[in-house]
């Protein structure tokens, strides 16, 4: 498994959660997974074991010297250590600006992955995640096409978010040591640029996304980001497998981040969590009897942040409250700051990442809002169900796959009126405690653990290898 992120060592979003959880679940299916990520500057080598001292990676005439470390885990968890490329404060960039040599950084990573597969862990399947691993299939089909080590080895490429495409100038092809024949529409060429994501889509043996609905959506111009034609061309080898949830971390019965724990059989603790959350965020006690809406999100248009413009006035009209934690695009960070300043008795905002507060919002809020423009899978709506916090979501991607009329509220059209109407419907049900409790309990009974999703991945691996 080749990924630029994996929890708990390197994380910027859901990719890390998925890659950090899936290998352990695959072991229960009888598979033997290993995982490879870069060793970023934020990852301390203390506690890691150096398992390969000298691994030269060649990109044309350039050579990059790397070593391989192994982290403690219940499966082989390898890290590529190349300080010249990865020992930096950020993963992809700093202060919102990508590192200018990302095309080299992740080309070296892809080549290092193949070296690890040759020397340390000979795999049947190379499972590559997002554009940062998109060159693995490209190198296999060109540079390493005649290498007996990889005879019969198959590749699976997982698209976590089609909006991030790994785009670079055409000249990057030579710098990455890629065969010139790959610069074509059936390869890595994308409207005159080089796309590492396109390489994975076009050249892997199979492609999947992280929810069934998103697999269909990305084959349309509306959601395809220009890649819809390439994806339709791979329709026979394109699959949608819903991400799972790690209930070891996200479970109100065991969550160490909560002031008190609770379960479907005893919901008293959830009320205490709401009370403590209001105190922590400086919201009035009067909010206890009214709907408290929670948002834990990257503050970006993809996540529907633009639909929250003027949301403070809506909350005042409906006598509802809001607590937000997240960071993202400066204009939306400022929008939420203004909202909190204008409605301090109704809106609490924490700009930045606070994992503990994220857990307490999941537990203490009554409603969890996810009005995404598009959502490949989404995890917070599944966390919310487990915590008895009723989701209000836009019916797109994984949000549409995981929320139904018995467990939450959905709206179709992307717009403020549709979102507010769905919230009003939820507020009306909140006023009926018995009906609201039934909705909470139906959600808490849902099981989105990795067991089912891992079984689907395991079956897909077997199909690729011709064993099913």
Condensed to tens digits (0 to 9), the pLDDT of residues 322-341 reads: 999 999 899 999 999 999 99
Condensed to tens digits (0 to 9), the pLDDT of residues 287-315 reads: 999 999 999 999 999 999 999 999 999 99
> Given a cut of 90, is residue 60 above it in pLDDT?
no
- Phi, psi dihedral angles at 382 (to 5 degrees): -75, -35
Rounded distance between C-alpha atoms, residue 264 and residue 327, angstroms: 32
pLDDT confidence of residue 72: 96
137 and 204 Cβ atoms separated by less than 8 Å:
yes
> Given a cut of 90, is residue 29 above it in pLDDT?
yes
Beta strands in 142-281 (DSSP E): 154-159, 167-168, 189-190, 193-195, 206-209, 238-240
Q: In what order do the strands lie in the sheet with 206-209?
A: 125-129, 154-159, 206-209, 238-240
Residue 337: how many other CB atoms lie within 10 Å:
13
Closest CA to 139 of 174, 169, 179: 179
Structure tokens at 2: 């080749």
Average pLDDT score over residue span 116-131:
97
Residue 128's SS3 state is: strand
pLDDT confidence of residue 468: 73
pLDDT confidence of residue 107: 98
Rounded distance between C-alpha atoms, residue 86 and residue 105, angstroms: 7
Helices (H), 125-227: 135-141, 172-175, 196-203, 212-217
Structure tokens at 373: 């423009």
Rounded distance between C-alpha atoms, residue 7 and residue 73, angstroms: 11
Average pLDDT score over residue span 406-416:
98
Residue 38's SS3 state is: strand
278 and 284 Cβ atoms separated by less than 8 Å:
yes
Tokens 């609490």: give the residue.
348
Rounded distance between C-alpha atoms, residue 79 and residue 67, angstroms: 8
Report strand pairing: 167-168 vs 193-195.
antiparallel
pLDDT confidence of residue 87: 96
pLDDT confidence of residue 98: 95
Rounded distance between C-alpha atoms, residue 405 and residue 433, angstroms: 17
Residue 403's SS3 state is: coil
| Non-local CB neighbours of 447 within 8 Å, separated by 6+ positions | none
> Given a cut of 80, is residue 108 above it in pLDDT?
yes
Range with the largest mean pLDDT of 13-22, 93-102, 368-377: 368-377
Buried b (16+ CB within 10 A) or exposed e, 152-188: ebbbbbbbbbbebbbbbeeebbebbbbbeebbeeebb
Average pLDDT score over residue span 343-352:
97
pLDDT band, residue 140 (cuts 50/70/90): very high
Closest CA to 111 of 74, 91, 82: 82
Half-sphere exposure of 420 (CA within 13 A, CB side): 16
pLDDT confidence of residue 96: 79
pLDDT band, residue 211 (cuts 50/70/90): very high
298 and 375 Cβ atoms separated by less than 8 Å:
no
> Given a cut of 80, is residue 367 above it in pLDDT?
yes
Mean pLDDT of the chain: 96
Half-sphere exposure of 445 (CA within 13 A, CB side): 9
Q: What global pTM score does this model have?
A: 0.93
pLDDT confidence of residue 12: 85
160 and 376 Cβ atoms separated by less than 8 Å:
yes
Residue 376: how many other CB atoms lie within 10 Å:
29
10 and 77 Cβ atoms separated by less than 8 Å:
no
Half-sphere exposure of 6 (CA within 13 A, CB side): 23
Report the percentage of the chain scoring pLDDT > 90.
95
- Phi, psi dihedral angles at 58 (to 5 degrees): -105, 130
Rounded distance between C-alpha atoms, residue 33 and residue 23, angstroms: 6
pLDDT confidence of residue 304: 98
> Given a cut of 80, is residue 319 above it in pLDDT?
yes
pLDDT confidence of residue 353: 84
Q: What is the dihedral of CA 413, 415, 417, 423, to 10 degrees?
A: 80
Q: In what order do the strands lie in the sheet with 167-168?
A: 167-168, 193-195, 189-190
Tokens 């809106």: give the residue.
347
Helices H / strands E in the chain, number of each: 17, 19
């Amino acid at each position: 498994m080749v990924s630029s992120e994996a929890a708990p060592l390197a994380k910027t979003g859901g990719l890390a959660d998925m890659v950090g959880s899936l290998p352990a679940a695959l072991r229960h299916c009888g598979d033997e997974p290993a995982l490879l990520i870069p060793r970023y500057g934020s990852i301390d080598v203390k506690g890691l074991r150096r398992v390969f001292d000298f691994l030269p990676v060649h990109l044309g005439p350039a050579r990059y010297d790397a070593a391989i470390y192994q982290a403690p885990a219940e499966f082989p968890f390898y890290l590529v250590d190349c300080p010249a490329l990865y020992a930096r404060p950020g993963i992809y960039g700093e202060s919102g600006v990508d590192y200018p040599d990302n095309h080299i950084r992740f080309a070296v990573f892809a080549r290092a992955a193949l070296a690890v597969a040759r020397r340390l862990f000979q795999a049947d399947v190379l499972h590559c995640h997002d554009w940062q691993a998109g060159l693995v299939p490209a190198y296999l089909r060109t540079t390493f096409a005649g290498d007996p080590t990889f005879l019969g080895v198959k590749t699976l490429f997982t698209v976590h978010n089609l909006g991030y495409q790994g785009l670079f100038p055409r000249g990057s092809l030579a710098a990455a040591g890629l065969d010139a024949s790959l610069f074509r529409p059936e390869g890595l060429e994308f409207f005159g640029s080089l796309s590492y994501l396109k390489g994975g889509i076009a050249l892997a043996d199979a492609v999947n996304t992280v929810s069934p609905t998103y697999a269909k959506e990305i084959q349309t111009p509306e959601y395809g980001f220009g890649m819809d034609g390439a994806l339709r061309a791979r329709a026979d080898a394109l699959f949608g497998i819903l991400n799972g949830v790690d209930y070891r971390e996200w479970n109100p019965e065991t969550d160490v981040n909560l002031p008190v724990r609770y379960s479907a059989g005893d919901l008293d603790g959830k009320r205490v969590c709401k009370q403590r959350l209001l105190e922590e965020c400086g919201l009035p006690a009067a909010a206890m009897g009214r709907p408290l809406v929670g948002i834990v999100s990257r503050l970006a248009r993809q996540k529907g942040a633009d639909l929250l413009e003027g949301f403070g006035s809506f909350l005042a009209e409906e006598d509802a409250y809001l607590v937000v934690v997240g960071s993202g695009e400066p204009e939306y960070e400022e929008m939420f700051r203004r909202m909190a300043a204008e409605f301090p008795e109704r809106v609490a905002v924490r700009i930045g990442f606070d994992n503990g507060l994220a857990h307490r919002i999941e537990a203490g809020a009554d409603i969890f809002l996810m009005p995404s423009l598009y959502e490949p899978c989404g995890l917070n709506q599944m966390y919310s169900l487990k915590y008895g916090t009723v989701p209000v979501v836009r019916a797109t991607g994984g949000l549409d796959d995981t929320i139904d009329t018995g467990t939450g509220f959905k709206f179709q059209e992307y717009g403020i009126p549709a979102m507010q109407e769905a919230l009003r419907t939820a507020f009306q049900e909140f006023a009926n405690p018995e009906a609201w409790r039934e909705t909470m309990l139906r959600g808490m009974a849902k099981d989105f653990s990795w067991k089912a999703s891992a079984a689907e991945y395991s079956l897909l691996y077997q199909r690729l290898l011709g064993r099913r």
